[in-house]
Structures are given as structure tokens and as C-alpha cells.
């Protein structure tokens, strides 16, 4: 794995970590620009969200031959700047990291994956970067209380024509299955859902679900058009 720093348009310096597929003498390395890079966006900074929470998923994705990228949004971990209450400023952080990936790694495309509050933030960035070819949400907070903070992000992902997958536990305390289904009725383009029976919101953020998330993410990548 490698560390680097990406500067945003307004001068915040973001700590970024790359997880590359392990070298193998039996498998050829992917050609530059051939594959998809998975950019993961961590949960709510104000409640302690940092990129380290996504390490297990990032390592799992890399073992499946895809480069994964995690980063601390402004005000989190090693990154400079101040976190915003609604995640509006952090959308620029996601865009900056995706543009850095596009310019420096030059993949065929970028898959954006957002966890918890990282899901609405990532969703608002999807159509701001041409290289983003798909989106995965883990526990998108569509519920009434969460919408007070993150409701301004809903339209961006629901109106995007890019393929999107919403993963949610059936016991998510922030969004009910019915709330999710009602929201997605108005979504444009391809929309997939994956419900995990009995799982709560914070359970899915934990390491016990990392392997399952990786399988779902890789399956989604393989379903995307080349």
C-alpha cells in the first residue's frame, strides 16, 4: 500500500491511501488504464469517521485484483481543513480524489463506494467526474431524521443515469426498507438493491461484514458495461 496527499480546490490537503493488487508470478498485472479503481468514502467525520474504517474492504478489493483508494475527508485523520455538518464541502474532497485517480492511475473507470454518511457525499460527486462509471451505497441514510442533515444530497444520486447499487441491512436504524424503496422509485437509470437480513446500520460498518461487502462490490463491477 502507498500513501499520498491530494489537495482540493479550496486548499485542503487530504491523506490518501492506495491498496494495489498483490503481485503474482502466475497472474499478469493489469495493463495501465485497463481496470476499475474503487474509491471508498468513509462515514460521518463528526462522529469519528476515518478512512481506517474502510481498510478491510479496501484490502479485500485489492485481493480481487482491483486497486482500491481510501482517504480522510477534510477534518478527519491526517487531513487538514474542517468538517462540515451536512457533508456539502466534502463533496469537493471526493471529486478531488477521483480526479487525482483519473489523472495518475488512468483506470478504465472509477467505482465510488460510500459508507453511511459517506454514501450521500459520494452520491453528490458521481456526476461531477466523467470517469466515475458506477456507485455503491452502504447504508444510505434516507430516513427522516438523517435527511435533516443529508437530504440536500438525495437528488444528485437519484437523478444520475449512472448505474447504482444500494446495500442496506433490514434492521438499519436510520432508514427502513420501505423508505429506501420509496426513495428509489424516482431514481433514474439502472438501480439495484441488496438487502442484508437482520443487519443494523453500524453492524455493516464493522469488519464482520467486510468480506460480504467485497463480494457484492466485485459482482457489481463485473456487471458494468465495458
Give residues with Cβ within 8 angstroms of 220, minimum separation 6: 111, 134, 136, 163, 165, 192
What kind and span of H or E run contains 102? helix 90-104
Q: Could you give phi then psi for residue 117, rounded to 5 degrees?
A: -65, -20
Band of pLDDT at residue 129, cut at 50, 70 and 90: very high
Radius of gyration of the chain (CA): 16
Task: Report all structural domains of the chain as residue ranges with CATH numbers, in order of start.
Answer: 2-20+34-222 (3.40.50.1820)
Q: What pLDDT shows up at residue 203?
A: 85
User: What would the pLDDT profile of 176-224 be if each residue is shown by its tens digit?
Assistant: 999 999 999 999 999 999 999 999 998 888 888 999 999 999 999 999 9
pTM: 0.93
User: What would the pLDDT profile of 45-67 be if each residue is shown by its tens digit?
Assistant: 888 899 999 999 999 999 999 99
Q: Could you give phi then psi for residue 208, rounded to 5 degrees?
A: -60, -25
d(CA 88, CA 43) in angstroms, rounded, equals: 14
Classified as helix, coil or strand, 187 is: coil
Query: How many C-beta atoms lie closer than 10 Å to residue 195's C-beta?
Result: 15
Amino acid at each position: 500500500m502507498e500513501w499520498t496527499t491530494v489537495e482540493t480546490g479550496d486548499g485542503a490537503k487530504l491523506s490518501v491511501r492506495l491498496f494495489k493488487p498483490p503481485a503474482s508470478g502466475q497472474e499478469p498485472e493489469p495493463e495501465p488504464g485497463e481496470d476499475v479503481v474503487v474509491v471508498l468514502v468513509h462515514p460521518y467525520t463528526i462522529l469519528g469517521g476515518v478512512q481506517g474504517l474502510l481498510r478491510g474492504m479496501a484490502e479485500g478489493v485489492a485481493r480481487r485484483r482491483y486497486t482500491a483508494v481510501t482517504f480522510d475527508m477534510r477534518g478527519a485523520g491526517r487531513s487538514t481543513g474542517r468538517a462540515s455538518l451536512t457533508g456539502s464541502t466534502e463533496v469537493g474532497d471526493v471529486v478531488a480524489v477521483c480526479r487525482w485517480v483519473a489523472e495518475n492511475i488512468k483506470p478504465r473507470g472509477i467505482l465510488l463506494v460510500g459508507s453511511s454518511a459517506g454514501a450521500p457525499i459520494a452520491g453528490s460527486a458521481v456526476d461531477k467526474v466523467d470517469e466515475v462509471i458506477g456507485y455503491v451505497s452502504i447504508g444510505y441514510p434516507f430516513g427522516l431524521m438523517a435527511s435533516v442533515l443529508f437530504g440536500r444530497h438525495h437528488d444528485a444520486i437519484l437523478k444520475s443515469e449512472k448505474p447504482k447499487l444500494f446495500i442496506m441491512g433490514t434492521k438499519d436504524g436510520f432508514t427502513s426498507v420501505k423508505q429506501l424503496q420509496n426513495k428509489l422509485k424516482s431514481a433514474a437509470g439502472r438501480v439495484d438493491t441488496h438487502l442484508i437480513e437482520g443487519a443494523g446500520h453500524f453492524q455493516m460498518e464493522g469488519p464482520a461484514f467486510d468480506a460480504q461487502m467485497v463480494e457484492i462490490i466485485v459482482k457489481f463491477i463485473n456487471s458494468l458495461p465495458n
